[in-house]
Chain A
Amino acid sequence: MHLHKYEKYWLTFGVGSLIVFLLITGIMAFHNGSHPPSAKKTINYEKVDELAPFNNPGVHRVSGKDWDYEVVVIASAFAYIKPVLEVPVGAKVKFIATTKDVVHGFEIAKTNINMMLEPGYVSEFVTTVNKKGDYLIVCNEYCGVGHAQMHSMLKVVDKK
């Protein structure tokens, strides 16, 4: 098969780009541990308020784990519990969230945190909050008439 030299250049560029992209994706996934939010755990959505850790929503400092804080959030039409969450800058935080009714979103604007909350499932995401500021938490899954008003706030503050 005859390939023109320009075609060879283009194919080399294309295949080279593909290899670079795959290498970056592989390094991000297997070395840096960057994965989509998991929803492997299940929960009885009718008893969310009674079951741990959702019987005590909010920010909790933990020890003996790979992360420093756990942020436990319950979503329901049309609010998050709690409405304001405060964590210190530089902390490794695990976000644990679920919904009591319909599908909701949990997106923290201007960050990479973006989870879908499904009834009966627990969504989790671990990250290090390394920039101070107020970050708006919004629902990005249409959940009903109050969807546009459904929001909360993550405050990343100086260490006390």
Chain B
Amino acid sequence: MTKKDETNEKLKGTFYLSMTLGVFIVIVWGICFGIFMGRF
């Protein structure tokens, strides 16, 4: 395993967690926006 591969492996968990959190925030925002649009 090269040094570059090692670095990628170390950062993979952080990357997945960050993306999961980001997607969660976007989904929650979308749900709130849907509620706002559904009301008068």
Residue among B14, B22, B39 making CB contact with A110, cutoff 8 Å: B39
Cα distance, A131 to B38, chains bound together (Å):
10
Residue from B18, B26, B36, B40 having most chain A Cβ neighbours under 10 A: B40
For the complex, count residues of B whose C-beta is within 8 A of A: 15
For the complex, count residues of A whose C-beta is within 8 A of B: 19
Are A10 and B22 CB-contacts (below 8 A) given A4-B7, A4-B11, A24-B33? Answer: yes
> Beta-carbon contacts of B1-40 to A below 8 Å, as 1s and 0s?
0000001100110110011001000100100010010011
Residue among B7, B19, B40 making CB contact with A128, cutoff 8 Å: B40
Between A and B, how many residue pairs show CB distances below 8 Å? 33
Q: Is A144 an interface residue (CB 8 A)?
A: no
Taking CB atoms, residues of chain A closer than 8 Å to B12 are: 6
The 6 A-B pairs of least Cβ separation, nearest first, read A6-B15, A112-B39, A127-B40, A111-B39, A6-B11, A130-B40
Task: Give me 15 A-to-B residue pairs in the complex whose CB atoms sit less than 8 angstroms apart, sorted by A's number.
Answer: A5-B8, A6-B12, A6-B15, A9-B15, A10-B15, A10-B22, A13-B19, A13-B22, A17-B22, A24-B33, A111-B40, A112-B36, A112-B39, A113-B40, A131-B40
Instruction: Give A contacts to B, CB under 8 Å.
Output: 4-6, 9-10, 13-14, 17, 21, 24, 110-113, 127-131
Further pairs besides A5-B8, A6-B8, A6-B12: 14, Cβ < 8 Å: A4-B7, A4-B11, A6-B14, A9-B15, A10-B19, A13-B19, A13-B22, A14-B22, A17-B26, A21-B29, A24-B33, A112-B40, A129-B40, A131-B40
